[in-house]
Chain A
């Protein structure tokens, strides 16, 4: 269990994290989403007791990090920047951490095996590829068999096989009842991995909700309509409660009304339709919508969802 209460952090004049509060629960993967520079890594460093918040506090299993009696047995973390001496072997990196907690060599070998680095345990970490470095970081996080795990962009720089491996590992760890908190700036990645997401922008909390809810969100669904008589159809749709955006290509984008309702309405009033396509914004667009205000301050685009995908195969098509 991780709790953040009003976490705030300035770097000089930059407000990196702004009164951020959330909880990360055990037994599920919680995604931590936000555009570049939104404060994800800073928040994770504050949880780990590495950066000191200007205000607020973070707790792990009810205690501030510095009060944990055996930190490695309670929390494991893979942070953004590599935390490994390039001249030290993978084994020795883990061994020096293990010694602080009286963890035996067997456990070190075990986690090296688990992340697939047993063969190269004696090699200097500086010679490792990006993916191997990530695996070593993950091994360090798992060393003390902790109930709480933090991963800052764990799939960064990994090949598809590596990404799949991390995704499976995260799901597995959550399945064992652990608290898994993983940051990403890709909503699509989180849709596959996470059960819950905490979304931030400019250091502020934007959303804290289950992924399933986000996927099924009706506001992401809309209908593309083409008609030779838009001047007649638009008022009809609006009086029926729909919002209409005139697209650039002459098509209307309608939200708030289903395709059936639009078709029926047009039929009743004898308005001809040339196209009636139910569509769904991708999760990535939903994410961009959520964070738009925080990215481009004040420059909110009034157009509806821009790029579109057909809704039929999408996970949220059924209503």
Chain B
């Protein structure tokens, strides 16, 4: 051991400890420096704004030929948020990729070598994703709403933010998108493979309600209201009409949203526990 040996390493160590601030910065860098993030965000824009615009434009064009029941029950807010359906899937892809790419590429080993506190890594990644998803989702739902109403105006009734339930629907739809993205991130933390996590996400979001539909109506009526897809649709609608929801009982928008938050928190916590226990 040379005289210099002691000087290397310990002597220059800064005080304190690595922490959340650096990890948040790192997660933000990770997120913005891969193309998949950009593509998934672009796809979300296309899904939410594009489909909302398409749906409202079609409605406006066919308004006069529509039936009286359709006209009476028309919810211009919900129509402009029609892109929520596809948007849920795309934001799920983003949520999955943010975590599964770490495992798929082995980056997780570099990440955990720098910051061995695994719950901290997961918390920071979740926080950064949540912020990005929230900003994007709110910008998109408001964008879809305003564009959709502009397309409806002149041909059909249209909504303004001041009307009952409208602001809640638009803000809430963005929140639902964000929380579903977090749900996907949690699933990916548990499953760790892109394809597997995406399958689980789409399965829980879309396939499970289809399976439930195969059961007797009484069963459908007791469980359908807990489905993320139904909670999201209820949030994006200003009123819970039988016309739109086929008479199934629904949770109130914010109760449904709280349940969605519970789902996401549960998968994230399970993912965190597994992350701590498993080999990286």
Contacts and interface: CB of A to CB of B under 8 A. Distances in A.
A145 B10 CA distance: 11
B217 interface: no
The interface residues of chain B, by DSSP majority, are classed as: helix
Contacts of B117: 66
A71 B18 CA distance: 8
A189 B7 CA distance: 30
Interface stretch (B30-38, B66-74, B253-261): B30-38
A61 B10 contact: yes
A140 B18 CA distance: 17
A256 B270 CA distance: 64
B214 interface: no
Contacts of A66: 116-117
Contacts of B18: 69-71, 100-101
Instruction: Tell which of A26, A68, A81, A145 has the most Cβ of chain B within 10 Å.
Output: A26
Instruction: Tell which of A87, A100, A177 has the most Cβ of chain B within 10 Å.
Output: A100
A148 B13 CA distance: 13
Interface in B13-65: 13-14, 16-18, 22-23, 25-27, 29-30, 33-36
Contact of B9 (A61, A65, A82, A89): A61
B114 interface: yes
A52 B34 contact: no
Given A73-B14, A96-B26, A101 B9 contact: no
Interface in A30-78: 45, 48-52, 61, 65-66, 68-75, 77
A177 B1 contact: yes
Instruction: Tell which of A71, A74, A96 has the most Cβ of chain B within 10 Å.
Output: A96
B107 interface: yes
B5 A177 contact: yes
A83 B107 contact: yes
A97 B22 CA distance: 9
Interface in B106-162: 106-117
A50 B22 contact: no
Contacts of A87: 34-36
B280 A51 contact: yes
Given A73-B13, A88-B33, A97 B114 contact: yes
A248 interface: no
Nearest to B277: A52
B2 interface: yes
Nearest to B6: A177
Interface string A287-316: 000000000000000000000000000000
Contacts of B16: 69
A144 to B, nearest CB: 8
A25 B110 contact: no
Instruction: Tell which of B5, B16, B112, B115 has the most Cβ of chain A within 10 Å.
Output: B5
Contacts of A99: 22, 25-26, 29
A84 B110 contact: yes
Given A70-B13, A145-B12, A177-B5, A89 B106 contact: no
A1 to B, nearest CB: 10
B114 to A, nearest CB: 4
A271 to B, nearest CB: 54
Contacts of A68: 116
Nearest to A27: B1
Contacts of A101: 18, 22, 114
A79 B12 CA distance: 25
Contacts of B109: 45, 48, 50, 79, 81, 83
A102 interface: yes
A45 B26 CA distance: 22
Contact of A71 (B10, B101, B115): B115
B4 interface: yes
B30 A96 contact: yes
A63 to B, nearest CB: 11
A162 interface: no
A50 B13 contact: no
B14 A50 contact: no
Contacts of A127: none
B121 to A, nearest CB: 9
A147 interface: yes
A49 B116 contact: yes
B128 to A, nearest CB: 12
Interface of B: 1-10, 12-14, 16-18, 22-23, 25-27, 29-30, 33-36, 101, 105-117, 277, 279-280
10 contacts: A26-B5, A70-B14, A70-B17, A74-B10, A84-B106, A95-B29, A96-B29, A101-B18, A140-B110, A177-B2
Given A83-B105, A99-B29, A177-B8, 10 more contacts: A27-B5, A49-B116, A50-B279, A61-B10, A69-B13, A74-B10, A75-B113, A92-B29, A99-B22, A176-B2
